[in-house]
Structure 1
Amino acid sequence: MGKAGEQCRGRTYDAELTAVVERAQQGDEDAFAAAYRMVHPGLLVYVRGLVGEDAEDVASDAWLEIARDLGRFRGDGAGFRGWTAMIARHRALDHLRKQTRRPRTGLLEQDVLQLPGGHDTAAAALETLSTEAALAMIRTLPREQAEAVLLRVVVGLDGPAAARVLGKRSGAVRTSAYRGLKRLAEQLTPGSGPGDVTDDVRRTLGEEP
């Protein structure tokens, strides 16, 4: 279906998420469960990229906070994904800071502690890998690029939303995601030319080649 089809599916997804979040805020437990099912898979992969094997516990803590503060949230489905990612990130940073011994190293652990509180080649190929294999590839990226890729591709945030989560300028996050995906595309498709890789990465970020 190409880029137009993907954008249509994304709008439909966020419209559905907007509706279930609104019902959840009115006390509908089934709607909250639906919002959880829609958001949790990507959120868990993002958290795993930050804290490694402790991701389930950290994500559970994040969802407790999300449930507690749901009434304070204002926004649509896309905003909800960004809001939940920000909460999960804060819980991940708290978890890392509390650890006195860290025998299991998270993918982005050391650098994260220093941070402020279209159908494309890279994304399509990553989808064919297991979660651990995909995270292992993302782990090879510089810290800024790795977390930007996780937020843009895995969580599905747009540039401004990812920037709010990371406390950075939108342009800086977009550049980091672009460079990270370009590097991944070059690793995944060694036979592609530079121009092909560049166009594929731009499609991932919702930009025209």
Structure 2
Amino acid sequence: MEAPVEDDRLLHQRVVGGEETALGEIYDRFAPLVFGLAVRITRDRVVSEDITQEVFITFWERPLAFDPGRGSLRGWLATIAHRRAVDHVRTQERRKASVIGPRLLEPEPERLEDAVLSRYEADGVRLAVGRLPDDLREVIELAYYRGRTYRQVADDLGLPEGTAKSRIRMGLRRLADALAEEGA
């Protein structure tokens, strides 16, 4: 059986060549990850569907933006989804602040089955994050659990921006590998 990373490279080459079926295969493989990440950050399924669509449209329109030599396709798509979701949340927070002022809003209650599924998935990811080396775990927690950008992570930890970015990328790669080994 072909290694997933090598398979991703071949799929990427097919997308670069304009093959729509390759994009479909990539979508089938990674849409749950992209959507789940967006839901976790935005807490809005409809917005997360839009973000998921935007991520794959971006990949289709500019497939050469992904460099297989710098990381996995899974990590790259997750990073794009994370950025889009954080941007959405920040935009919504600014809108709310301008309309209602600085008071806090209560989040809408989740449906029970969504809450249970999200909790199960989140617990698996948290365990995998907890097994990362401290320097990688710390940057992943800041970026993905606290919604910090790589620049903010660098400032928070007193690191050069390039180091923060590299650690986030490496942490995501190790996390993806660990989750893949567990069948996630």
TM (normalized to structure 2)?
0.54
**1:90 corresponding residue in structure 2:** 83
Alignment of 1:1-209 (within 5 A): 12-53=3-44, 54-75=47-68, 79-99=72-92, 100-101=95-96, 104=107, 132-136=115-119, 149=126, 166=143, 167=150, 168=164, 169=167
Task: Give unpaired runs (5+ residues) of structure 1.
Answer: 1-8, 108-129, 154-158, 178-202
- Taking the aligned partners of 1:83 and 1:103, their CA distance within structure 2 comes to 32
Q: 1:33 to 1:86 in 2, by over 3 A?
A: same
Task: Give unpaired runs (5+ residues) of structure 2.
Answer: 97-104, 131-135, 144-149, 151-163
Q: 1:94 to 1:31 in 2, by over 3 A?
A: same
RMSD after superposition:
4.3
What SS is found at the alignment partner of 2:62? Answer: helix
Give identity over the alignment, percent.
17
**Higher RCO (CA 8 Å, separation ≥ 6 residues):** 1
- 1:65 maps to amino acid: T
TM (normalized to structure 1)?
0.49
Aligned length: 134
Once the two structures are superposed, residues 156-181 of structure 1 have per-residue CA deviations (whole angstroms, 9 ceiling, x without a partner) of xxx69x95x943436x959xx8xxxx
Instruction: Indicate if the aligned counterparts of 1:50 and 1:106 stay in contact, CA closer than 8 A.
Output: no
| Moved beyond 4 Å, runs of 4+ | 102-107, 150-153, 203-206
